[in-house]
């Protein structure tokens, strides 16, 4: 029982580590997802602010262009009224004026003419637009304005209005246009320049804040920088993270529970299988192998079957992997061999059929299997030619020892078959280097016959390969008459599958075989005398 406890402890530890890693992965994923959602949210806000800023600049330029082409005399009542209406319609405008040379002749708004004469422009565009970014030289009444002059008109814009939105009330945010600061909120806050920050969202744990920078590919190069206290970030996503973490923990606990339960089940099955092998509870069934041209049974494949004490039938796909893990495969091979010789010894001695025994890779590396096989056959009075050995591809790939053992088997008189061909790694060179007699085509290729599948084109090449090496060919898993007919037309000699018979207990297999003999004898007796005479 020590190995069982050791295995259970190791498996439990592995399950715990896997659960911890999975939980860490889930937590990391949730964090990354939260950052991604926040980044998308801030990116949408940045795009909104950038588009608004661009719209204001373009609108201001177009408005100045319209006033430059205004048909009424400059500074006339109509002209002044038009400027007033334009200013009232745009909440971000603080003043609109008309200039003649260096003198402001008239204007509307809250700012006097003397206060709108900054010394040096920040940008002079080829279109004739002159712009002054907010700075001490554009400051009026404690507010640094954005000024634009085009032709004989100018406009003063309050940049604070560009960030007038409830979505940034708890943030520090700033707008840069052509790498020059245009607006910020709070209006007098100091923010890092965009070129000092990476694009996207960055969690600054050292300063407990979330910093975002987004650059917009608009008419003007616009950058938006936003800083949010990390506490607000947590407040926004903590419920989601908490719920998801709780669900993740629940799932992990359930997963660990079922993993441990499954491991105990497998260990229980492993222990039961070992006892079943020792007490003879593992039985052997025999699936007939028939000649496709006549349907006559020429042999069978011996297959291990396990029925538990409670009557539950354990599928080979379940107990064979367990046997491999527990190192019980050689015992299964011995059980199958001895049961075959015991169940069918008399039939093998008096007929020409052969029984196929499956060998595992462990059998080929065992120093005792060969002698035990010879002793068992000799004790049962069964010739080695009546026991054919089936070996999977993975058991022979690039193995000199396997090659020597197979050669010894054939020298003793056993035929050797490659089982489930096409599902492993064998190549033509391997098949040529190993001394084998039979190639068994895997049922997955047989299932594809008549279907528009990739494997449906492979089986023909496998058959041709077998013919070129002069090997006997057996098709596994034949279920339908069209499959049998197609294989027979391709020159495949032998086959097995549910079309002919499912695996049978020893007594039923003997009856199956003897019924065929009786039918053949009866058919011979019923032949007309003339035909018999002419035949011989």
Same domain, 218 and 338: no
Would 476 be classed as within a structural domain?
Answer: yes
Tell whether pTM > 0.75.
no
Same domain, 129 and 25: yes
What does the alpha-carbon distance between residue 435 and residue 412 come to, in Å, rounded to a whole number? 13
Last residue of a domain, one of 234, 261, 290: 234
pLDDT of amino acid 533: 34
Same domain, 51 and 152: yes
Same domain, 108 and 171: yes
Would 269 be classed as within a structural domain?
Answer: no
CATH of the domain at 380: 3.20.20.450
Interior/surface letters 148-170, b for 16+ CB within 10 angstroms, e for the rest: bbbebbbbbbbbbbbbeeeebee
What does the alpha-carbon distance between residue 405 and residue 370 come to, in Å, rounded to a whole number? 8
Q: Tell me the per-residue pLDDT of 258-288, one tens digit each, with 9 for 90 and over.
A: 665 655 555 566 777 787 788 788 889 999 9
Last residue of a domain, one of 180, 212, 234: 234
Same domain, 203 and 284: no
Residues 335 and 304: beta-carbon distance below 8 Å = yes
Tokens describing residue 342 = 């015991």
Same domain, 163 and 307: no
Domain that holds residue 296: 275-530
Would 256 be classed as within a structural domain?
Answer: no
Choose between 218 and 481: higher pLDDT.
481
Would 344 be classed as within a structural domain?
Answer: yes
Same domain, 223 and 282: no
Residues 214 and 41: beta-carbon distance below 8 Å = no
Would 267 be classed as within a structural domain?
Answer: no
Choose between 42 and 466: higher pLDDT.
466
Same domain, 309 and 206: no
pLDDT of amino acid 535: 31
Would 385 be classed as within a structural domain?
Answer: yes
What does the alpha-carbon distance between residue 108 and residue 98 come to, in Å, rounded to a whole number? 9
Is pLDDT at 160 greater than 60 in this prediction? yes
What does the alpha-carbon distance between residue 98 and residue 57 come to, in Å, rounded to a whole number? 18
Same domain, 174 and 79: yes
Would 247 be classed as within a structural domain?
Answer: no
Same domain, 433 and 502: yes
Please give the tally of structural domains in the chain: 2
Same domain, 218 and 292: no
Same domain, 6 and 97: yes
Would 261 be classed as within a structural domain?
Answer: no
Q: Tell me the per-residue pLDDT of 93-136, one tens digit each, with 9 for 90 and over.
A: 999 999 888 788 898 988 765 566 777 888 888 888 888 888 88
Last residue of a domain, one of 212, 234, 256: 234
pLDDT of amino acid 530: 43
């Amino acid at each position: 029982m020590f190995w069982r406890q050791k295995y259970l402890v190791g498996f439990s530890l592995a399950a715990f580590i896997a659960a911890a890693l999975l939980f860490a992965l889930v937590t990391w994923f949730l964090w990354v997802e939260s950052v991604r959602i926040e980044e998308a949210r801030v990116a949408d806000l940045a795009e909104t602010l950038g588009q608004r800023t661009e719209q204001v600049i373009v609108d201001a330029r177009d408005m100045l262009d319209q006033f430059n082409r205004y048909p009424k005399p400059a500074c006339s009542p109509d002209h002044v009224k038009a400027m007033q209406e334009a200013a009232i319609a745009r909440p971000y405008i603080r003043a609109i004026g008309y200039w003649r040379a260096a003198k402001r002749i008239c204007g509307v708004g809250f700012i006097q003419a003397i206060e709108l004469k900054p010394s040096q422009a920040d940008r002079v565009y080829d279109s004739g637009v002159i712009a002054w970014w907010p700075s001490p030289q554009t400051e009026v009444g404690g507010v640094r304005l954005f000024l634009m002059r085009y032709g004989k008109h100018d406009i003063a814009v309050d940049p604070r209005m560009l960030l007038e939105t409830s979505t940034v009330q708890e943030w520090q945010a700033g707008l840069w246009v052509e790498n020059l600061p245009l607006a910020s909120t709070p209006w007098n806050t100091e923010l890092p320049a965009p070129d000092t920050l990476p694009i996207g969202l960055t969690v600054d744990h050292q300063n407990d804040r979330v910093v975002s920078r987004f650059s917009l590919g608009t008419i003007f190069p616009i950058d938006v920088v936003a800083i949010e206290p990390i506490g607000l970030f947590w407040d926004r996503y903590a419920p989601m993270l908490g719920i998801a973490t709780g669900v993740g923990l629940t799932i992990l606990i359930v997963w660990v529970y079922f993993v441990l339960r499954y491991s105990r089940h497998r260990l229980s099955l492993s222990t039961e299988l070992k006892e079943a092998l020792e007490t003879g509870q593992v039985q052997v069934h025999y699936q007939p192998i028939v000649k496709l041209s006549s349907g006559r049974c020429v042999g069978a494949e011996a297959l291990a079957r396990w029925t538990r004490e409670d009557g539950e039938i354990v599928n080979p796909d379940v107990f064979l992997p367990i046997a491999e893990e527990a190192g019980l495969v050689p015992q299964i091979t011995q059980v199958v061999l001895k049961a075959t010789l015991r169940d069918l010894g008399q039939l093998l001695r008096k007929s020409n059929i052969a029984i196929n025994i499956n060998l595992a890779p462990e059998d080929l590396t065992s120093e005792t299997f060969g002698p035990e096989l010879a002793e068992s056959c000799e004790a049962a009075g069964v010739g080695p030619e009546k026991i054919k050995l089936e070996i999977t591809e993975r058991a022979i790939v690039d193995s000199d020892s396997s090659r020597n053992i197979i050669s010894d088997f054939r020298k003793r008189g056993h035929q050797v078959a490659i089982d489930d061909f096409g599902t492993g790694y064998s190549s033509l060179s391997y098949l040529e280097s190993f001394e084998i007699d039979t190639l068994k085509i895997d049922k997955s290729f047989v299932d594809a016959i008549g279907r528009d599948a990739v494997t449906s084109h492979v089986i023909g090449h496998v058959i041709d390969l077998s013919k070129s090496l002069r090997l006997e060919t057996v098709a596994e898993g034949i279920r339908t008459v069209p499959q049998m007919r197609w294989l027979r037309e391709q020159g495949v000699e032998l086959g097995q599958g549910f079309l002919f018979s499912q695996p049978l207990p020893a007594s039923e297999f003997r009856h199956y075989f003897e019924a065929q003999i009786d039918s053949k004898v009866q058919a011979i007796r019923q032949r007309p005398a003339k035909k018999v005479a002419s035949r011989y």
